[in-house]
A and B are shown apart, each in its own frame.
Chain A
Amino acid sequence: MSDSPIRPRSPVDLDVKSGSPTEVELALLQAQTRRHFFRNLGAGLGTVFLGTLASKLVPFANAAGAETAALDFSRDPRTPLSPLPPQFPAKARRVIYLHMAGAPSQLELFEHKPELKRFDGQDCPASLLAGKRFAFISGVPKLLGSQYPFHQTGQSGQWISDRLPHIEKQLDDICFIKSMRTDQFNHAPAQLLVQTGNPRLGYASFGSWLVYGLGTENQNLPGFIVLLSGGKTPDGGKQLWSSGFLPSVYQGVQCRSHGEPVLYLDNPQRVSRALRRSMLDTIDDINQQTYAAFGNPETVTRIAQYEMAFRMQMDATDAMDIRKEPDWVHAQYGSKPGEASFANNCLVARRLAERGVRFIQLYHWGWDSHGADAKEALNIGFNDRCREVDQPTAALLADLSSRGLLEDTLVVWGGEFGRTPMRENRGGQVMKYVGRDHNPGAFTIWLAGGGVRSGITYGETDDMGYEIVKDPVEIRDLHATLLHLLGFDHHKLNFRFQGLEQKLTSVKPARVVAEILA
């Protein structure tokens, strides 16, 4: 087959009109009289004068105004994902976000609390319960020491439990934030808060913001790709990678972990790529007429999306195909081509990072260790979860590091809140399995790579691992910090919607945690 009939159309073919006045506007201009002119001139000159005056006094009018003045993120509507430089020189160019949906227990993994262990099994003192709400704990629960032994390791001498023997080897690359705090208490809103900066539906996710701000270099792949490990979809649902109020082209594209990465990407039987091409050309023509008639930029976006899907037929399949990796890499990750697993997704994540995908979001599932059944017991299901993520996560870090990608890739690992130092006693009963309830007051996440100070721990909780005693970090502070690493002042990466300069960090003041920057 020759190359020419299936080559995508050059974007220059499209007749994009912009800024030309409509007939109504022209008619209105025709109706202007000399008197209109003089009347408007007086008012207009006055406005101009006030405008120049006001611009000198902008900080006076609104000190926050200067902070939120918009950067220019406009692009040719035919290439909405084209890359833009960051606001400031940035260490990190892309993000791999490993979200452990369900909220893993920090007390079984990273938070070494010998005092809590000492009081294991004793009644929780009333002072820890006063004014607190729990999802399931009722009455007076018992304190629960860590179920697993801790030790210090690595050159940085950080503490870690025996559940993550592989990640342990990468500890010197990791920066722990042990004083994360959220104001959300249930999984879905808490996940939304972590991923979109807001616990309610309808806001743009972190990945969408980043692709909006930076675009993506590889136009043959989406800039924001989401991979699930199989099992349960996160409680927050597809809203977690929604573009919210941002143009829809910036939303995350969920790719399947086995089989075709994107459904219906392959041509149906007896449809050749050439036929698909000519079909797309026809659709493009129709869409272009629609655009000429209505001028809605979303139409052009739609054309661009069709074109990307066409290009993705080749590239996405290649990027997702981990069979192309040698055996030793599979041994390193513990990945098995053909199944849906976190290990496979970690390997795919590295392949996507190499190909310039801006934001790669992995969700693992099943970390909600209440102890209500074996699957979510700290001594049973939790072990499986650790095993599922430990080796692939460590392999991802090591692989990124040896390929030099960790330099400019930001890896984030964490859940949506923490877990209580008390044993869950659902309905006031002693439960068959060991578990912990939700604790929004303190949890641990860790970062690695792209401009993060490695081998350190930031923040501290009390001896019970229950409340933060030093350097609390709100979700919005984390977002501001990550955006800073990616080259943005979080005020400036904004989008005007409903009368507000919307930001990932929302409206409360957020602090860049300068202490964890390399």
Chain B
Amino acid sequence: MTASNRGAVLSTARLGFAMLAPVLVVVMLVAFVPPDGNERADWFQFIGRFHPLLVHFPIAFFLLVPILEVAGRSARFAYLRLSVSFVLALATVGATAAAILGWCLGRSGGYSGRLITQHMWGGVVLCLVCWGCWLLGTRLRSLGLAYAIALALGAGLVAWTGYRGAQLSLGSNHLTEEMPRGLRTLLGVRDNRDASASLPDPTTFYGARIQPIFSARCISCHGAEKHKGDLRLDSYRGLMGGGKDGPVIQIGSIQGSDLFRRITLAAGHDDFMPRGKSPLAADEVKTIELWIGAGASDTLAANAIKNAPSASIAPAEVKFEEIDPAAVAKLRATIAPAVAQLQKQFPNILDYDSRGSADLRLNASILGGKFGDRELEAFDLVSEHIVVADLSRTAITDQSAVAIAAMKRLHVLRLMDTHLTDSTFLRLHTLNELESLNVYGTPVTPAVLPTIAKLPKLSHFYAGQTGIVPGKALPENLVSKVVF
């Protein structure tokens, strides 16, 4: 070994240790002064906030190295390999600086828990790996395989640590949260946007009314991922366990409950909660107040507090079903030819109830006097599929009674302004599904009322302008159903 050579080795060793020292400092910090969930408004937090800004530089530098190495293998880009040592040194220094800032943020930003611990150790180990890569890549090139492994390990660590960090800032499911349904099923990723890990018992007041408020407004800072002030509000145990300053709920005492004091402060106050967000709604505050006053129990029944504000029901959402054309075709298979034939013969008066249904609606009223008993006969083939029949103002007579009575699945039957008489209506006792019967303007008399009253599902009986009049003659169970 020549003297100059030895000098180079020595200077490299000095440089190496100069770079290793701060890394070891971070290891110490993370090992002996870990984040404790207390938030400190001091220089540390101020500096720490620059962690997300800085951290991307070493990431980029480090990931650049394998690219340089691979590209440098071709003669054309061989010169790139000369930069490797420099870039790795930059990555090491940057990673160390980012780790120090990260510790500042973690320590003072009110973080604690598994996620932050993993992220921190990931970052620290990455610093060491960077350093190791630098050493192997620059001075110990003979250990080529070890170098390659170290690089691969480092790249993996960058990904894992970065993912953990993003979970801290964006939420644990930030990558899959907005994943489209198709891809989700393809990859077998569960959609847990709505499902909480362990829901409290919804029959209790706590489960039904209190936890939902915390879940909506508090757990982003006081939950499984962050527990600022060492307080967790994602469970009853966490709530009653209190935070670093002791219990936040004093049973039965609204004044003594720090949680209540903080949510009722003015939004600008230092102690106000939820910090930086809009205050809880008046109803929510009232609900919490009544619950603390009633003993803050997690077994109290959901309806136990009488004067509690009504639960704010999440806006109901109307879901639209998909219609499967094949299933619909199958459903209609038996009647489709008959329906098509009838639609051709009597355009516009017969159609399916909806695009997904095999039920039929018949509206002959628009044909008026041109539609009579003979025409109605034609619908015999499909009569059991007709759920709505409007024969108002048609020329049908009592001869059609059988045809109408055969429409056993009718929900709505309109016979307004027809010449049908009691003899038809007396035969309608077969219509067990009938909900609405319209005899407005027909010559019907009260003699049909006992038959009508027996229709099990009837809710509306339109009997205006007929022989039926309001008064005592009405059977008791028809009184509320008859419309004049």
Other-chain residue from B321, B349, B363, B460 in contact with A88 (beta carbon distance below 8 A): B321
Q: Contacts of B351 on A, CB cut-off 8 Å?
A: 83-85
Q: Contacts of B484 on A, CB cut-off 8 Å?
A: 402
* Contacts across chains A and B counted by CB atoms under 8 Å: 99
Other-chain residue from A402, A491, A514 in contact with B462 (beta carbon distance below 8 A): A402
Q: Which residue of B lies closest to A515 (CB)?
A: B316
Q: Contacts of B352 on A, CB cut-off 8 Å?
A: 85
CA distance A57 to B355 in the complex (A): 26
Question: Do residues B416 and A57 form an inter-chain contact, with CB atoms below 8 A?
Answer: no
B412 CB-CB contact with A under 8 Å: yes
Q: Contacts of A79 on B, CB cut-off 8 Å?
A: 347
CA distance A408 to B183 in the complex (A): 42
Q: Contacts of A147 on B, CB cut-off 8 Å?
A: none
Q: Contacts of A494 on B, CB cut-off 8 Å?
A: none
A237 CB-CB contact with B under 8 Å: no
In angstroms, how far is the closest chain A Cβ from the Cβ of B383? 19
Question: Do residues B318 and A89 form an inter-chain contact, with CB atoms below 8 A?
Answer: no
| A457-485 contacts to B (CB < 8 Å) | 471, 484
Also in contact, A90 and B354, with CB within 8 A (given A83-B348, A356-B363): yes
A496 CB-CB contact with B under 8 Å: no
Other-chain residue from A84, A89, A218 in contact with B353 (beta carbon distance below 8 A): A89
A129 CB-CB contact with B under 8 Å: no
B357 CB-CB contact with A under 8 Å: yes
Question: Do residues A85 and B182 form an inter-chain contact, with CB atoms below 8 A?
Answer: no
Question: Do residues A514 and B317 form an inter-chain contact, with CB atoms below 8 A?
Answer: yes
CA distance A60 to B180 in the complex (A): 5
Question: Do residues A404 and B348 form an inter-chain contact, with CB atoms below 8 A?
Answer: no
Question: Do residues A489 and B320 form an inter-chain contact, with CB atoms below 8 A?
Answer: yes
Question: Do residues A512 and B318 form an inter-chain contact, with CB atoms below 8 A?
Answer: yes
Q: Contacts of A512 on B, CB cut-off 8 Å?
A: 317-318
CA distance A89 to B351 in the complex (A): 12
B440 CB-CB contact with A under 8 Å: yes
Also in contact, A217 and B348, with CB within 8 A (given A71-B355, A90-B354): yes
Question: Do residues A89 and B357 form an inter-chain contact, with CB atoms below 8 A?
Answer: yes
Interface footprint category on A: 35 or more
Also in contact, A88 and B464, with CB within 8 A (given A59-B180, A404-B440): no
Other-chain residue from B182, B315, B318, B353 in contact with A56 (beta carbon distance below 8 A): B182
CA distance A512 to B320 in the complex (A): 11
B365 CB-CB contact with A under 8 Å: yes
| A341-357 contacts to B (CB < 8 Å) | 354-356
Interface footprint category on B: 35 or more
Also in contact, A402 and B460, with CB within 8 A (given A217-B348, A217-B349, A217-B363): no
B356 CB-CB contact with A under 8 Å: yes
Other-chain residue from B355, B438, B440 in contact with A87 (beta carbon distance below 8 A): B355
Question: Do residues B462 and A403 form an inter-chain contact, with CB atoms below 8 A?
Answer: yes
In angstroms, how far is the closest chain A Cβ from the Cβ of B325? 10
Q: Which residue of B lies closest to A481 (CB)?
A: B318
A146 CB-CB contact with B under 8 Å: no
Question: Do residues A403 and B440 form an inter-chain contact, with CB atoms below 8 A?
Answer: yes
Q: Can you list 28 residue pairs at the A/B interface with Cβ under 8 Å?
A: A56-B182, A56-B186, A57-B183, A57-B186, A60-B183, A71-B355, A85-B354, A87-B323, A87-B354, A87-B356, A88-B321, A88-B355, A89-B357, A219-B348, A354-B365, A354-B392, A401-B483, A403-B416, A403-B440, A403-B464, A404-B416, A407-B436, A407-B460, A484-B318, A487-B354, A492-B320, A511-B315, A511-B317
List B residues at the A interface (Cβ < 8 Å): 180-183, 186, 315-318, 320-321, 323, 347-349, 351-357, 359, 363, 365-366, 392, 412, 414, 416, 436, 438, 440, 460, 462, 464, 483-484
List A residues at the B interface (Cβ < 8 Å): 56-60, 63, 71, 79, 82-90, 217-219, 354-356, 401-404, 407, 471, 484, 487, 489, 491-492, 511-512, 514-515, 517
Extra pairs beyond A354-B392, A402-B483, A514-B316 (9, CB < 8 Å): A56-B182, A71-B355, A85-B351, A85-B352, A85-B357, A86-B354, A90-B354, A354-B365, A492-B320
